[in-house]
Amino acid sequence: MKLYGHELSGNSYKAELFLNLLGLEYEFVPVDLMKGEHKNPAFLKLNPFGQVPVLSDGETIICDAQAILVYLARRYGNEEWLPLDAEPFSRIIRWLSTTTGEIRQGPEFARLYYLFNAQSVNINIAKAKSEFILSQIDTHLKNKNWLELGHPTIADVAAFPYIALARDGNINLDQYSNILKWIHRLKELPGFIAMTGI
């Protein structure tokens, strides 16, 4: 397997993290976003959207971090990571949606603004959205160790990177004690790997 990504991309990291949690062998292929390698014709053949990460598993090409998590869980994991039954499955998908919605528009955008000087980001909106979603998640985790089902799932893997990287976006996590405990639990999982900022 090959994982095409960037070392500072939280989305690339979540795919790499899950590969390691599953104990799978893979090659990480760096894509230099700053030099525009994600817009080169060769890369656009892999992903016409010009985005990382991309997973190549033999003849199978999977684009998008959340899709990669679903693919890996179904292909190489078990129902602990992604259940088959409709109701628990829907609870996991809700968090994948939250990751691409509220978490992206909050902590991820704030990180883009401060770390990568993304002037297209409205930092006041990103900070407000960050406060909202982090408060919601902290409350949700009040009597839980994991986001759903009482054990780690791809919901945790999907949500983790940009929450754990919130300080890159000048967002202080100290007031979110349940989130901090959850971050610590994730770091204790067998196969956990770090990235810059985590």
Instruction: Give the 3-state secondary structure of residue 30.
Output: strand
pLDDT of 100 > 90? The answer is yes
Q: CA torsion angle for 140, 144, 150, 155 (degrees, to 10)?
A: 40
Instruction: Give the 3-state secondary structure of residue 26.
Output: coil
The confidence score (pLDDT) of residue 37 equals 84
The confidence score (pLDDT) of residue 43 equals 87
Mean pLDDT lowest among 85-89, 99-103, 115-119: 115-119
Pairing of strands 54-57, 2-5: antiparallel
DSSP state letter for 173: -
The confidence score (pLDDT) of residue 32 equals 87
User: What average pLDDT score do residues 56-83 get?
Assistant: 96
pLDDT in tens, 149-178: 999 999 999 999 999 999 999 999 999 999
Q: What is the DSSP secondary-structure string of 50-113?
A: --S-EEEETTEEEESHHHHHHHHHHHHS-TTTS--SHHHHHHHHHHHHHIIIIIIIIIIHHHHH
pLDDT of 39 > 90? The answer is no
Share of the chain above pLDDT 90, in %: 90
The confidence score (pLDDT) of residue 42 equals 87
Structural domains of the chain ordered from first start: 2-76 (3.40.30.10), 86-187 (1.20.1050.10)
pTM reported for the whole predicted model: 0.95
